[in-house]
Structure 1
Amino acid sequence: MSPTRPEPSRDATEPPPAAEPAETGSDRPRAHRRRVSMADVARLAGVSAQTVSRVSTGHPGVVATTREQVIAAMRELGYRPNSAARALKYGEFRTIGVITFTLSTTGNSRTVEAIATHAAREGYVITLIPVAAPTHDRVLGAFTRLGELAVDAVIVIMEVHLLDASTVLLPPDVHVVVVDSDAGERYRVVDTNQADGTRQAVRHLLDLGHRTVWHIAGPQESYAGERRSAAWRAALVDAGREVPPLRRGDWSAEAGHRIGLDLADEPDCTAVFVANDQMALGVLRAMHERGRVVPRDISVVGFDDIAESGSFIPPLTTVHQDFAEVGRRCVEAALQQVRTGTAQTGTTLVPTRLVVRDSTAPPPSR
């Protein structure tokens, strides 16, 4: 039998030692759990802490096998990157705020998608704040909300003239990029060259032999719609052609159908430039219902080049907008301001191009 060990002497006033909590399993109290660190992951994966940081931020410069190794270690340890600590250390949140007034239009939804894609490639995420009614107070409220959520920059996707009003001033300490606006003197603006795309569309129809080109415009409060209608008018005036009465829609296929029924009854209307592809779809339906064959009797050109435009009957001639490039340049402009710490102004225009399909042809002989 082993000899009995004497217990160590203890002062009578000293409290007995507390029981040690279990080190493993669900019985261990949460308060005693040590947060898993980046160093822990690095040790388990056999890499540097810098490599773990690159994997956690989505940095592209990590070998695939190493990335898988680090991710496996993260999962095993239950590691989650501490974005707040990273923000304090590096002075950035790696988040871009996006304010938009609607996601129902093709341009806005595809631009948001592109912004999210390119932000992720740079190791950033986006926080989307939709603004139901585009008023001064609501825009400032959206900026306040993004300030609370801690973002490095804000991209504002405009569908109306709100930022063009001299009474609207965005917070001066926020890096801002604006899409679809003429606010280049005050903010960094990225847009497609919509005026040039419109000129290409009108010139194409005139070159086919049409005497003039009718137009279905977007809503009056839309800056994009106004630029397209202004460029349409200017192209006809420059060519010395008559400018027909402008018709105005709301971007929907229903509006295009309604206006198209009226234009089908205009005997002198042989060519129509429509401000977007959805309204052009409604025009095609209206012409079919009125017995006017496209493009034999009337030519139709749209704007946007949505994915479905090549499947219309007939396939639609339209102006292509590169929304992916717009999104990339927005993220690039935003991060350039973040990294330099300086606000920028000026406008970048992404080129547009005419995609000729089967909805345009020379006018019928008279």
Structure 2
Amino acid sequence: MSKFLDRFRYFKQKGETFADGHGQLLETNRDWEDGYRQRWQHDKIVRSTHGVNCTGSCSWKIYVKNGLVTWETQQTDYPRTRPDMPNHEPRGCPRGASYSWYLYSANRLKYPLMRKRLMKMWREAKKLHRDPVEAWASIIEDADKAKSFKQARGRGGFVRSSWQEVNELIAASNVYTVKTYGPDRVAGFSPIPAMSMVSYASGARYLSLIGGTCLSFYDWYCDLPPASPQTWGEQTDVPESADWYNSSYIIAWGSNVPQTRTPDAHFFTEVRYKGTKTVAVTPDYAEIAKLCDLWLAPKQGTDAAMALAMGHVMLREFHLDNPRQYFTDYVRRYTDMPMLVMLEERDGYYAAGRMLRAADLVDSLGQENNPEWKTVAINSNGEMVAP
């Protein structure tokens, strides 16, 4: 073995020794170390946040060098909460800490793109028509041309264009639609305000000025827009995440808090030290499941039956068979359960219909201000009133 190692003495660097041979001074090129030093050097630090449809609004230290973001770290100067609650910090998440990668990613679009088939037809139409609106009309009113570029949707085929060209095309198509069908036939969706207030405001302003239809980002949330007010009486105006610390029982249903609410997840974990019980309802063993005392894993498609079963137990055991003051007071104060519901006859039996309103009764129960919207309940004297 020693003979094998002796062969490598050729690569041994010569240098002045010191400390009785325990140290050796080598004069080697160490310029390569500057690459590591320069990676973390910066000219200034600015405060910012990330507009990526995240309501966390975490405050970040952005390190800037030569006008470019080099890296980012979390601010630690959040205001103190109440003495009986945890602070908001630490906040931030891995996605925020790597946001500069998104800024300078080679995959990020920097120029407008147009489908090649449409671009070819648009440029040919511009040669024949001086008016952009007439050029667009020659395309959209031709059944074969319209079908040609519409059928290409979803198949890629995008090529680089210019801002002037795409803006002219968009304006021409909108003007054509307004002239032909009316301004309310132009419907648009601006980015969610949490994504970019400038983009949201500019898009909404443009649609408003031309008389178009402003679609809300809320319209994209399936059944959430009507379900939230019907269930809770508000439009998802939920309390802040710090309020989790005031709870004694939390059910995380349809929410993977550590992933979707990373900056606030510590409130969910810290409240368990108070004795709060937490339950996760998720078919897979998601991140939230490991933070809970109980993990319920319903099979796909059975969560509605599970919710109805839970509601049945509460109604049967705590409202019908053995009424409890806590549940009675709760439904009276926070729900529409005491409100009267009209019964409708369907196929020989009665089913719950809409709520009874003051306008359905004689003299509208004395209500003059919008009685058609006021629901009715029975007070302690057995009289129908509009609260």
TM range, smaller chain? under 0.3
Which has the larger Rg?
A: 2
Query: TM-score when scaled to structure 1?
Result: 0.25
Query: TM-score when scaled to structure 2?
Result: 0.24
Q: Which has the higher contact order (CA 8 A, sep 6+)?
A: 1
